[in-house]
Structure 1
Amino acid sequence: MIQVGIIGGTGYVGAELVRLLSNHNKVKISGISSAQYKGKSISSIYPGFYGLNELVCESQQEVMEKSDLMFLALPSGLSESIVEKAIHKDKVCIDMGADFRFKNEALYKKWYGKSFLAHSLHEQAVYGLPELNREYIRKSQIIGNPGCYATSVELALLPLISGGLIEENGIIADCKSGVTGSGKNLTESSHFVNCNESFAPYKVANHRHTPEIEENLSNISKENVKLTFVPHLIPINRGILSTIYTTPKKPMDIEKVHEKYCEFYKKENFVKVLPLGEISKINNVRLSNYCHISLHFDEENNKLIVISCLDNMMKGSAGQGIQNMNILLGFDETEGLTDVPAIF
């Protein structure tokens, strides 16, 4: 049985990892760490675990020592030094933050204000979008789990970008997320009175997932992909809906494009291309690791519109992290992730 530790086990992502891994048949949670709640049980912080999981929060070092693989569910900038120690002890690391999402150090420094501390680690690290890098993930010891918005937008655009079907510039990604996307610590915008019965954009054209999306899509396209990305906060707990506007390079046949999408994702367990005429909706993927994609064509304006929906805590975060774990450990990729989306 593989021993899996969670560094930062009491934030939203960490708690979701505990929930999912508690039902995984191939691994055992060896320990969880928390700077804030050391010595307290996970059930005293999240009573839903009462009688089901009574893990007690320990130090990072204690968790590292008894784990074969570690998830690092920490704010960006805190994982790299821990990963460096873990790799020297031959541990496998899946970073849920942004520390290992970038190959371009200048981009990381521009958007996160930090430089790479150990360049060799970044050379080893693989960007953990399975539908893009599955074969590399299998061989890696360090995985940078993608951002939630980035996952939604990249999955929506991969078939178009890889096929050279759309203009690389002028892409618009209009995205909405539930409040869990902003993390457990309260901000002014996530206070109940400010987000309930409201709907507002934030970090307009200045969100950190923008360079992540552009870097990965540019690597696929071999052209410089640029997009305008505007995230919005909506008063729901979980879920992302991305409406993406693209311009076709050639006259568009929506049925043929739909066929390309179905062919592109036919072997993927967690990406579902909906029939033409259907529309992706958050409530149809909630509490699941699935991403739903629907295609629409505005003939009057020559715009191909792609709508992508996923649960930001699942395929956008913890679920995708476990999917990556399954791949690199040689398990069935769907292990622990086959729950049907909530029906209502």
Structure 2
Amino acid sequence: MKVAIIGGTGYGAVELIRLLHNHPYVTVEAIISHSQSGTDLASVYPHTVDVVDMTMDALDITSLSEKVDLVFFATPSNVSKDLIPSFLENGVKCIDLSGDFRLKEPEAYKKWYQSTPADQEYINQAIYGLSEIYEDEIKNASLIANPGCYPTATLLGLIPALKHNLVSKEQIIIDAKTGVSGAGRGLSLNVHFSEMHENLKAYKLGEHKHIPEIEQVLTNESGQEMQVVFTPHIVPMTRGIMSTMYTNLIIEKSTKEIVEVYQDFYKNHPFVRVRPEGVIPSTKEVYGSNYCDIGIYADQRTGKLMIVSVIDNLVKGASGQAIQNMNLLAGWEATTGLNQIPIYP
């Protein structure tokens, strides 16, 4: 398969380049950057020198459509919605790492993204690319809306409990933490070294763009309207997300029994690793990999189920899951090109 990456200077793009470099069935034909067209990739990312010898190009949709089978959009929100229709009309499949096609209700996009939504025809066409949950739909897609990083960790942690009616569908609290790479490569006072080092910040309480995405999927999977309390935090590390969820048990089961439910739920999904009773994962244990590790604790004293889900926000939370979706779409094993052991320490 021949692919292109649009949005070539961001962390999502360079992670796609890293992972696709050793993919046995894929060649990256073009890296597109509006701001850095004509520039060698290695001059923007020196760690790629003598490894990836490519010059970033300006976008020419007609020319690019003739060269590639699939395009990854590693662009900010409010960009891909204007470009993807032309690629689809030219028979090129698209995987969008931004939020432009995740929300099915245009009014929700207007509210949470403060922008004009994509055309409803393409919103309807988009398949939400949570790989382990929507595998069958992804295999037949032309447009995949890659999930956000927080939703990936959170939804993979919550869905088995909801599908097995272990917990109440009300009063779900999500306490999530991310490394600073989740804010992108752009300059920001919020992630300035002296502002972030030895510091911990809660941000965008009640207004984070991933709230409607999480609620939309949980509503679809549970069969009833759901709302969650979601508090994101930024922590002084480069990569990683830990999403800790607090839910009310509605059935009497031990931690061991619930772990077994989760292990059975994900038994055919190699990138979700459910830890045994008494073992809670940390972000370092998935660093640089496409794994989502989940730990469970059923608190009999309070009647709460606590779920801890960790991912690398740039891999399983973005580029790795995008490649996993490409693999499913192409009919390859989901793990193709993604078998990296996590980096440790």
TM range (shorter): over 0.9
Specify the alignment match of 1:138 in structure 2.
Answer: 139
What is the aligned partner in structure 2 of residue 246 from structure 1? 247
TM-score (norm 1): 0.98
SS at match of 2:135: helix
Structure 1: state its 5+ residue gaps.
none
Corresponding residue number in structure 2 for 1:50: 49
Q: Is the 8 A contact 1:166 1:247 kept in 2?
A: yes
Superposed CA offset, 1:187-230 (max 9, x none): 12111111111111111122110110000011010111211111
Whole-angstrom distance in 2 between the partners of 1:262 and 1:104: 33
- For 1:26 and 1:34, the matched residues in 2 are separated by 24
Report the aligned-residue RMSD.
1.1
Q: Which residue of 1 aligns with 2:195?
A: 194
Deviates further, 143-152 or 330-339: 330-339
Shift of 1:97: 0.1
In structure 2, the residue matched to 1:7 is 6
Counterpart Cα distance in 1 of 2:246 and 2:300: 13
Alignment of 1:292 with 2:293, yes or no, is yes
For the residue of structure 2 that corresponds to 1:161, the secondary structure is helix
Structure 2-normalised TM-score? Answer: 0.97
User: 1:215 matched to which residue of 2?
Assistant: 216
One-letter identity of the residue aligned with 1:101: R
Q: How do 1:63-82 and structure 2 match up within 5 A?
A: 63-82=64-83
Measure the CA separation in 1 of the matches of 2:67 and 2:191.
36
4+ residue runs over 3 A deviation: 62-65
How many angstroms apart in 2 are the aligned matches of 1:197 and 1:308? 23
Which residue is equivalent to 2:175?
A: 174
Q: Which residue of 2 aligns with 1:323?
A: 324
Task: Give % identity.
Answer: 39
Alignment of 1:96-107 (within 5 A): 96-107=97-108
Matched with 2:93 is 92
Deviation at 1:23, TM superposition (A): 1.1
Gaps of 5+ in 2: none
Distance 2:266 2:330 in 1: 23
DSSP 3-state at the match of 1:60:
coil
Deviations 1:231-284 (A, max 9, x none): 111111100011110101122322221111010000001000001100110010
Q: In structure 2, do the counterparts of structure 1 residues 303 and 120 end up closer, same or farther at CA, with 3 Å as the change threshold?
A: same
| SS across alignment from 1:204 | coil
Aligned to 2:228: 227
Aligned counterpart, 1:26: 25
Is the partner of 1:301 in helix, strand or coil?
Answer: coil
* Partner amino acid, structure 1, of 2:19: L
Q: Secondary structure at the match of 1:323?
A: helix
Check whether the contact 2:154–2:243 (CA below 8 A) recurs between aligned residues. Answer: yes
1-structure distance, mates of 2:177, 2:140: 34
Give the drift of 1:64: 4.1
The answer on whether the counterparts of 1:5 and 1:64 sit within 8 Å (CA) in structure 2 is no
**Counterpart AA for 1:133:** Y
State how far apart, in whole Å, the 2-side matches of 1:36 and 1:19 are.
21
Q: C-alpha distance in 1, partners of 2:196/2:100?
A: 29
Given that 2:101 and 2:118 are in contact with CA atoms closer than 8 Å, whether structure 1 keeps it comes out as: no
Partner Cα separation in structure 2 for residue 21 and residue 50 of structure 1: 16
> Does the CA contact (< 8 Å) of 2:106 and 2:120 recur in 1?
no
1:72/1:95 contact within 8 Å kept = yes
What is the aligned residue count?
A: 343
